[in-house]
Amino acid sequence: MSLVTTHVLDTAAGRPAKGIGVRLEFEGSVLGEARTDDDGRVRDLGPEELTPGVYRLVFDTAGYLGPDGFFPEVVVSFRIRDGAAHHHVPVLLSPFSYTTYRGS
């Protein structure tokens, strides 16, 4: 299992957001790319070992939200201190807002 996972919930529709492209970046390099599954989750994204530092998850929300979505892309930057720990970064998404937090 990857040490970085995510899931996206469509809070306007009250269901998981499936099919959103997600990419994990570190120091300008792409470490992994995937799409959210039927449950809105990405369970395998990136390497099994991580260097401490600042990472970015980039969510391609334009294809999911369509032309009415205010945010065509959501970028979540986060710091990893323990490269062996699991980091789960969920996103709650609607056409005009998003929220994120450190999950478990």
The pTM assigned to this predicted structure is 0.93
Sign of CA dihedral 102, 28, 97, 64: negative
How many residues are present in the chain? 104
pLDDT digits (tens, 9 = 90+) for 12-53: 999 999 999 999 999 999 999 999 999 999 998 878 789 999
Torsion of CA 47, 50, 53, 55, to 10 degrees: 20
Hey, what are 47's tokens? 């390497």
Indicate the pLDDT class of residue 1, thresholds 50, 70 and 90. low
Q: What is the mean pLDDT of the chain?
A: 94
